[in-house]
Amino acid sequence: MVAFLYRQQDQPQESTMKGTASRTKSLEGLKYSRQKACEGYTFDWPVVSIIVTHSNYGQFLPEASDSALNQIYSSVEVIVVDDGSTDHSREIIAGYRDKIIPVLKENGGQASAFNAGFKASSGEIVIFLDADDYLFSHTVEQVIAAWEPDAAKVHYLLEMVDSTGRRLGTHPPRPLDSGEVWQTLLQKGRYGTPVTSGNAFRRAVLEEILPMPETEFQIAADGYLMVLAPFYGQIVSINRALGAYRIHGKNLWAMTMNIEGERLRKFVQHDLQRYALLEHMATKLGHRVPKDLSYRDYLHLKVRVASLSLNFRSHPVPSDSRLFLAYRALWAVWRYSELSGQKRLLFSLWFTWVGLAPLPMVKPAITWLFVPHCRPRSLGWVGTLGKKTSAVRKLSSV
């Protein structure tokens, strides 16, 4: 079990409650305002806060900040949080003068940066933008167009790009979930959602769940928000890319050919913290949490068996075995995933291999799955098998 500390939320002061009610009313009337605006009326559109958070990302900071400032939608405030950078980032921030709201603080981790940025913001809708990512000029406009009165957040796809801006694909590769996704969370342990920069939150929701615990979420703080937000309203999806998610080797989630067991350990620890947070929230609301929730999430099990294989001495769950995790993962793939038949077959082969093969033969398989562009030719037969299976299926249906 993961030890997790939860802060008892203070009761909001009367002035805060009035302000929240006013903002909520503004957002509930948004759909009506959009309709009347098309008829020539003018309205005070809701302010959207874009909070750029970073530490020592000076090489990417201007592009992220400029993308926030250059939104077509005009009612935007931009807050830039510098979390104790030691590079030239603060000189860059100073160059923006009064175009942004700067928040300069000692290094405390991502959660502390989120908390500080939110405290300095005032928008009815809030976007946390990682400084190595950037938004498209119409991002906020599209979020406003998609907003629903009962939305807790609107999320959207992101284009994956490398350090030079070259397009690598779409994130996430799986469909985004919509509606009352808390039910999916309780059944499968996760739902289809992008990383930090692909989400726009209702301020009233953030006021309920922030500040977040800063020690537990020094990294990957978006996981805290993704788990809790669905319990406060509907999730609205925009199934097209409205920003860029940069993969440059320094990201927590980025993988290179030299896969680090320590990084995988952090992934597993992060997932266990999410499950603990989910269980705490669900129990508080009277929902039942399956005891085997972590074993229903094949994506978690993929990372967990890889962590055990590459770095068993510091693996977060000492009782784990490769064979047991492979067995549970096969069950998760076929019982709880929404993968196609072809992908279920590929994952089944992979989990079986990693669960049974000698350790020297496991690392190439892990690299093959975690780093697609570095896939060894020795494992190319797996992809070929999937293609042949699909081709045979098509021919048999003619």
Q: What is the structure's pLDDT at 173?
A: 84
User: How are beta strands 134-135 and 234-246 bridged, if at all?
Assistant: antiparallel
pTM, two decimals, is 0.81
The token pair at 195 is 């990383």
CATH 3.90.550.10 positions along the chain are 14-246
Cα separation of 391 and 395, whole Å? 6
216-225, 289-298, 332-341, 364-373: least confident range: 364-373
Cα separation of 111 and 102, whole Å? 17
Q: Is the pLDDT of residue 296 over 60?
A: yes
Q: What is the structure's pLDDT at 103?
A: 96
Q: What is the structure's pLDDT at 397?
A: 39
CATH numeric code, 14-246: 3.90.550.10
Cα separation of 78 and 120, whole Å? 10
The token pair at 223 is 């996981």
Q: What is the structure's pLDDT at 254?
A: 54
Judge whether 216 and 4 are in contact, CB under 8 Å: yes
Cα separation of 227 and 236, whole Å? 15
**Which residues lie across from 246 on neighbouring strands?**
161
- Alpha-carbon dihedral sign for residues 255, 265, 273, 294: positive
Judge whether 76 and 141 are in contact, CB under 8 Å: no
172 preceded by cis ω (within 30°)? Answer: yes
Read off the pLDDT of residues 111-169 as tens digits, 9 standing for 90 and up. 999 999 999 999 999 999 999 999 999 999 999 999 999 999 999 999 999 888 889 88
Read off the pLDDT of residues 202-248 as tens digits, 9 standing for 90 and up. 999 999 999 998 888 877 889 999 999 999 999 999 999 999 999 87
Cα separation of 104 and 385, whole Å? 53
Read off the pLDDT of residues 87-101 as tens digits, 9 standing for 90 and up. 999 999 999 999 999
Residue partners of 274: CB distance under 8 A and separation at least 6: 189, 190, 223, 224, 226, 227
The token pair at 374 is 């570095």
Q: Is the pLDDT of residue 386 over 70?
A: no
Q: What is the structure's pLDDT at 352?
A: 97
Contacts 24+ apart (CB under 8 A), 224-227: 224/111, 224/274, 224/277, 225/114, 225/128, 225/199, 225/201, 226/191, 226/193, 226/199, 226/274, 227/185, 227/274, 227/277, 227/278, 227/281
What's the mean per-residue pLDDT of the chain?
84
Read off the pLDDT of residues 4-57 as tens digits, 9 standing for 90 and up. 333 333 333 333 333 444 444 556 656 545 554 445 444 568 999 999 999 998
Q: What is the structure's pLDDT at 44?
A: 66
Read off the pLDDT of residues 314-342 as tens digits, 9 standing for 90 and up. 999 999 999 999 999 999 999 999 899 99
